[in-house]
Structure 1
Amino acid sequence: MFQGTFALFNRALNVDFRLMRTHLFRFLFAVMILFFLMSAHVTSRAIGASGLVLFSQIIYLNFVVILMAGISIFATAITEEKEEQTMGLLLMAGVNPISLMLGKSMPRLVTALLLLSVQFPFTLLSITLGGVTLAQVIAAYSALAAFLFCLANLGLFCSVVCARSRSASTLVVIALAFFFLGFPFLEWVFNVIQSENWITKGALLANSIETVFDWRSQISILSQINSILATGFSDSPWGIPFWGHIVFGFILFVFSCMLFNRFALIDVGLSPGRGVISKKKSHTFSPSRTWDNALMWKDFYFLNGGVGMTLIKFVCYGIALLALCIFIGFSSNQWDLDLIGYTVFWSMFLVLLIEISLISARIFQVEIQWNTLVSTAMLPQSMARIAYSKLSGCLLSLIPACCYLMFGSLFIIDEIFSALDEILPEPTFWMMCVEVFFFWHLTAFLSTYIKWGALPLAFVLMWVGNTTFFIMVTIFSIGGGIRQEVFEVLSLFFSLGLLACIVGSHFLIKERLVLLASK
């Protein structure tokens, strides 16, 4: 049993440790902590507990990166073998399911734990800056390690039951969204029902539901981090939240073992998945006749689901927005059109940012993964036109979110225009816009180099860049406050530099695609 596990584990670690990007990623984390430390040291004169600020930044950064790793790295442990049609060969070689799952998931978990261990000695420096104790540092990293173990097994479970990596990542996102957002919403609904006396307080059903909500609140990593970062923390790092994540991780691993034989040999096929596209002649879920721009048509239907997925998004977004408006209305006891407009507008604005980020991560990834870039490059079109055609097809999938965004803006049109009059002259606003566009270009560029994890890596790089900028701003403010003119000049130079990088990324992506197509 363990022979196959050690063989896969040893091979995965050897391959991982020989990659330059692995060591660069760890070095990047160390550099980020150094930036945080410099910022905390510079601001220590103005902030009382600068060590707590430094420690909080590091912990929340780790939390976000762990979430992204669970979506992009852990969720592909088994699906990548299914997509490469090597699952049957591994089973024929005598590797049993448990050895296979351990050999595929453990190296990724060990790599992530090593990334946490790199930060631990540097994080101890926050104790010397004040506001943090050794018990808080140990408790925080123990909580992150337990959450990482649980999330790794959640990704493994989704990777076992799903046929493709994209489906597994989507299932992980749904599970995390239900845990962090769905449970609070259900708890609010339950409290409303109890206040209306639809369920008798103290009844068996009410007590059971309250127990479930209390249990979820106790093991929530966010609640645990907030408790650890609070002043006067003295609890044990090995409490109920820690063991709750460990036990739940083992349960997910057991379920993965039980379902492995049922889903291991799913016929994935040698071509990219069609998603909701139907092979039957249905007007909604089957592709229409090819458009004049065939690449635009292909990416709209086969990468983003076409008309069928667009209708599904319309329905799902509508239901989610309705529930959110009802929730906010009950919570604030306000039922006016302005509140509905703000809720719909900002919710869809966030959804648009997320959708475009996901598009930028996978727009070229499918072509590279399935080796179709060579045949695509043989078309009588330039590589730049091919890339822009694919982008146009992907942007059509944003129609549902854009429609709801415009619908929400109709209720607050006056407020939007008045806000634009105030923020348009501000250089900070334009710097944020340029940063968002650069983030999308950076994600697309990184997706041509790495198979998975372009989105979290781009997020980390952007975090480092922003931290460097604010450290520069803080250094200028040491002498008694920074002048508004100096801040505007720094923002202008930073924005111009990002604009130059955006223009350069177009040429770099084109050259990279040409190079990949020539291999």
Structure 2
Amino acid sequence: MFQGTFALFHRALGVDFRLARTHLFRFMFAIMILFCLFTAHASSTMMGAAGLTLFTQIVYLNFMFILIGGISFFATAITEEKEEQTIGLLLMAGVNPVSLLLGKMLPRLVAALLLLSVQFPFTLLAITLGGVMLSQVIAAYAALAAFLIFVANLGLFCSVISARSRTASTLSLIGLATYFLGVPLLMWFLTVLVKEGWLAENSFPVVSTRVQLKWLYDSSIITQINSILITGFNKTAWGYQFWSNLGFGLFLFGCANLLFTRNALNERAASPERRLIAKKRSHLFSPGRAWKQALMWKDFFFVNGGYSMGLIKLLAYGIALFSLCAFISYTTNNRTFTIQEIGMTMFWTMLIVILIEISLISARVFHVERQWNTLVSTAMLPHSMAYVAYSKVLGCLLSVLPAFFYLILGISFSIREMTYDSSLVFAEPGFWLLWIQILFFWHLTAYMSLFIKWGALPLALIIMFIGNAFYFTATNLLLLAVRMNPTEGLNIALAVIQLACIIIFHFLIKDRLIQLASE
């Protein structure tokens, strides 16, 4: 068993260390920590406990990257072998399921743990800035390491039971969202039921449910981090959160091992999946005949689910908005919402949903063609590559219509208030800079997806963060040297630079698609 595990482990680490993007990612992460150190040092003259500020930024930065890693990095450990149809070959070579799982998961886990360990000495600088003790630093990194092991095994479990990397990433996202958001929401809902008299407070179901929810809530790393960041922390680093996360990780690894033979050995079709599409042409949700814009039709139905997924989104968003309005109304002492307040809630919620949906679309709009090597046949169509790319984008954007419907509905409910506020917002240069940055981020994500298999979205986030941090830090230092503070000029300059980059990205994406089609 250990021989097969060591062979896979050695090969995966060797390939990972030879990739330039691996070292580039670590370098960018170090730059982000350096930027946090710079901002903490600059603020030390204006506020006390600057070390606590630095330590908080680094801890939450690691927390966010572990979450992103669980959704993308760890969730593709087994599915990438399924998609390449190499699991059978590995098993024929004498690698048993346990060795395969360990050999695919351990290299990624070790690489992530190394990223945590190398930044530990730099985090000790927070002690010299004040507000942090050594016990807090050790406890925070112990909590992050245990949480990393839990997330790695959650991604491995989702990768085992899923046929595609996209499905595994979605399941990991749902699992983490349920763990961090579902438990507090259930605790609140149980409190409401008891308060309204629907359940007896001292009944056995209520007491047992509260105890179980309290165990899950205390095992959350967010609860542990909030406890660690309190001044005067004196608890042990190896507390309930540490051991419970390790236990959850081992349990998920055991489940992945038990379900491996049943889920991983099934033959998968070597072609793109067509989810939620009715096979009968007469069915309501059938794609029917191809549209005049065939590429747009193909991406809308066979990549984004078509009418079926649109109906699911329409119902899900409606239920979520109703629940959100009910929750806000209850927490404000059952005050009745006005139609304007409901409209503003719908508008801002759906605006965030649309931004997230388009960000995900930008990461996968060209991924399917690249994954299944269909760019060669697509390039043979009597259309330019630019036409093909724009058709695919428009087909994917049709899947945003359910969220856009509720956005327009929210605007219609609060049109009077929004008309008054819009005249003030549109006059702000920062408003236009924000939207230009969002457009730049979408183009950057789409361009990154043409070079890497998975992780284009988090990589684009890192590049955006580092780029903005470097630009504003460099310009502020320069203006501080000449004793000037033209903030609007900086915003306009950044907007012009990013607009130029957006135009350049259009040509770079087209050239990259042509290059991939000719390979």
TM-score for both structures, normalised by structure 2: 0.96
Choose the corresponding residue for 2:436, options 434, 437, 440.
434
**Closer/same/farther in 2, CA of residues 331 and 510 from structure 1, 3 Å limit:** same
Give a deviation string over 1:309-337, Cα, whole Å, max 9, x none. 10111111111111111111111122222
Counterpart of 1:365, as a letter, is: H
Q: 2:75 is matched with which residue?
A: 75
Find out whether 1:451 has 2:463 as its counterpart.
no
Deviation at 1:28, TM superposition (A): 0.8
Choose the corresponding residue for 2:467, options 453, 458, 465.
465
Partner-residue secondary structure (3-state), 1:45: coil
Give a deviation string over 1:344-402, Cα, whole Å, max 9, x none. 21111111111001000001111111111111111111111110000000000000000
Deviation at 1:278, TM superposition (A): 2.8
Structure 2 CA distance for aligned equivalents of residues 477 and 127 of structure 1: 31
Q: 2:310 is matched with which residue?
A: 310
Choose the corresponding residue for 1:403, options 402, 405, 409.
405
Q: What are the residue-to-residue correspondences of 1:87-126 with 2, within 5 Å?
A: 87-126=87-126
Q: 1:334 is matched with which residue?
A: 335
Q: 1:164 is matched with which residue?
A: 164
Q: Size of the alignment, in residue pairs?
A: 517
Give a deviation string over 1:83-110, Cα, whole Å, max 9, x none. 1111111111111111111111111111
Q: 2:487 is matched with which residue?
A: 487
Deviation at 1:40, TM superposition (A): 1.8
How high is the sequence identity, in percent, across the aligned residues? Answer: 58
**Closer/same/farther in 2, CA of residues 325 and 186 from structure 1, 3 Å limit:** same
Deviation at 1:465, TM superposition (A): 2.0
Structure 2 CA distance for aligned equivalents of residues 495 and 6 of structure 1: 50
Counterpart of 1:416, as a letter, is: M
In 2, are the aligned partners of 1:163 and 1:266 still within 8 Å (CA)? Answer: no
Q: Per chain length, whose mean CA-contact separation is higher, i.e. which structure has more relative contact order (CA < 8 Å, sep 6+)? A: 1
Q: 1:30 is matched with which residue?
A: 30
Give ranges in structure 2 of 5+ residues lacking alignment. none
Q: 1:148 is matched with which residue?
A: 148
Counterpart of 1:424, as a letter, is: F
Deviation at 1:480, TM superposition (A): 12
Q: 1:258 is matched with which residue?
A: 258
Deviation at 1:283, TM superposition (A): 2.6
Structure 2 CA distance for aligned equivalents of residues 8 and 374 of structure 1: 33
In 1, are the aligned partners of 2:362 and 2:445 still within 8 Å (CA)? Answer: yes
Structure 1 CA distance for aligned equivalents of residues 99 and 80 of structure 2: 16
Partner-residue secondary structure (3-state), 1:73: helix
Counterpart of 2:448, as a letter, is: L
Q: What are the residue-to-residue correspondences of 1:11-410 with 2, within 5 Å?
A: 11-332=11-332, 333-336=334-337, 337-410=339-412
In 2, are the aligned partners of 1:348 and 1:404 still within 8 Å (CA)? Answer: yes
Structure 2 CA distance for aligned equivalents of residues 59 and 473 of structure 1: 27
Partner-residue secondary structure (3-state), 1:235: coil
Counterpart of 1:324, as a letter, is: L
Give a deviation string over 1:146-167, Cα, whole Å, max 9, x none. 1111011001111111111111
Structure 1 CA distance for aligned equivalents of residues 493 and 149 of structure 2: 42
Structure 1 CA distance for aligned equivalents of residues 284 and 157 of structure 2: 32
Structure 1 CA distance for aligned equivalents of residues 376 and 482 of structure 2: 59
Partner-residue secondary structure (3-state), 2:44: helix
In 1, are the aligned partners of 2:447 and 2:509 still within 8 Å (CA)? Answer: yes
In 1, are the aligned partners of 2:183 and 2:217 still within 8 Å (CA)? Answer: no
TM-score for both structures, normalised by structure 1: 0.96
Runs of 4+ that moved beyond 6 A? 479-482
Counterpart of 1:443, as a letter, is: T
Give a deviation string over 1:286-306, Cα, whole Å, max 9, x none. 212101111111100111001
In 2, are the aligned partners of 1:160 and 1:260 still within 8 Å (CA)? Answer: yes
In 2, are the aligned partners of 1:284 and 1:308 still within 8 Å (CA)? Answer: no
Structure 1 stretch displaced more, 234-243 or 470-479? 470-479
In 1, are the aligned partners of 2:445 and 2:460 still within 8 Å (CA)? Answer: yes
Structure 1 CA distance for aligned equivalents of residues 457 and 119 of structure 2: 22
Deviation at 1:467, TM superposition (A): 2.1
Deviation at 1:279, TM superposition (A): 2.3
Counterpart of 1:360, as a letter, is: S
In 1, are the aligned partners of 2:281 and 2:288 still within 8 Å (CA)? Answer: no
In 2, are the aligned partners of 1:194 and 1:201 still within 8 Å (CA)? Answer: yes
Structure 1 stretch displaced more, 268-277 or 222-231? 222-231
Counterpart of 1:358, as a letter, is: L
Give ranges in structure 1 of 5+ residues lacking alignment. none
Partner-residue secondary structure (3-state), 2:209: helix
**Closer/same/farther in 2, CA of residues 234 and 307 from structure 1, 3 Å limit:** same
In 2, are the aligned partners of 1:384 and 1:510 still within 8 Å (CA)? Answer: yes
Deviation at 1:263, TM superposition (A): 0.5
Structure 1 stretch displaced more, 47-56 or 242-251? 47-56
Partner-residue secondary structure (3-state), 1:230: coil
Structure 1 stretch displaced more, 322-331 or 397-406? 322-331
**Closer/same/farther in 2, CA of residues 6 and 282 from structure 1, 3 Å limit:** farther
CA RMSD of aligned residues (A): 1.6
Partner-residue secondary structure (3-state), 2:266: coil
Deviation at 1:49, TM superposition (A): 2.0
Deviation at 1:267, TM superposition (A): 2.5
Deviation at 1:338, TM superposition (A): 2.9
